[in-house]
Amino acid sequence: MLDSLRIWTEEGAPESDGFAAVLADAIAQARSAQLLRVEHFLHLRCEVPTPTVVEEASALMGRSDVRLASLMDHTPGQRQFRDERKLRDYYLGKNGGLTEAALDQLFRRRLENQAAYAKGNYRQLVDLAKAHATPLASHDDTTLEHVAEAIRDQIVIAEFPTTIEAAEALHEAGIRVLMGAPNLVRGGSHAGNVATADLARVGVLDALSSDYMPASLLMAALRLPAVAPGIDLAAAIRTVTKTPAEAVGLDDRGEIAIGKRADLIRVHVASDVPIVRTTWQRGKRVA
């Protein structure tokens, strides 16, 4: 499990609270107290244009439990939200108290922050991750320019490319293309971008993320062979086991093989819904 921590603080965005360090310490305490049944690592989700992101990331990047850092930019009018209306609808649906006027102010500030901070922050974050040997993920790659940037900076995972063109170029470059499992389960992107199933059908889907719905991970993997006939069950399972594990340097797990950890689950499928019956960690039953 890679627990995703928001590494940004932004005035006017209620979900950006700046408590990443508090959460990281809480997870570490739970780990030390043996309260967790599986291993938990940290995934730092860095919003590049925010003023304090480098400072906040620097406080966490050197921890041994940090396994991945994402470089994200959700500035209105680009990448995931090239259609600004989609971003407006997202906020209006998520936070009923926000008005169009309040969103105008929020979006204006985001554009100003991107102009002032994004370029410098991006380079500092790349250098910081390299100094700590932390794998990097790009986010919402849309154009071939984004792909070239990812290749230049030795990105290992491309999270949620928004176009087939970008996904194909990333895959060809050896960067693992990761898409959201909820996207496949629900039948498409909630932001109107490329569907996970479309990338699977053209052979450029490498890994799946639980994103905002943890239960979707196993559901999506088991549905992949039906969605993309070129993917058999073993290949589908690798999208949630071996491939993502290797991407973040966990080479001791992710497959059933001699010398590996023997992290296993026993699954029953009822009416197309997978139910985990038993879980083993290092060969020992934990659930």
| Structure-token match 């991945």, residue found | 68
- The closest alpha carbon to 280, from 182, 260, 271, belongs to 260
Cα angle for residues 284, 285, 287 (degrees, 5° grid): 150
| Structure-token match 């690798």, residue found | 238
Displacement of CA 134 from its chain's centroid (Å):
15
**Residue 9, pLDDT score:** 75
> pLDDT tens digits for 119-145?
999 999 999 999 999 999 999 999 999
Distance, CA of 34 to CA of 73 (rounded, Å): 36
**Residue 18 near residue 41, CB atoms below 8 Å:** no
> pLDDT tens digits for 102-117?
777 777 888 888 898 9
**Residue 87, pLDDT score:** 66
CATH architecture of the domain formed by 2-74+118-254: Alpha-Beta Barrel (3.20)
Is pLDDT at 150 greater than 90 in this prediction? yes
**Residue 61 near residue 45, CB atoms below 8 Å:** no
> Which ranges of 48-204 would DSSP assign to H, the alpha helix?
53-58, 84-94, 100-113, 119-131, 144-152, 164-172, 181-186, 196-201
Distance, CA of 31 to CA of 47 (rounded, Å): 27
Cα angle for residues 271, 275, 281 (degrees, 5° grid): 155
> pLDDT tens digits for 48-86?
999 889 999 999 999 999 999 999 998 876 666 666 666
Is pLDDT at 14 greater than 60 in this prediction? no
> pLDDT tens digits for 185-240?
998 776 668 999 999 999 999 999 998 899 999 999 999 999 998 999 999 999 99
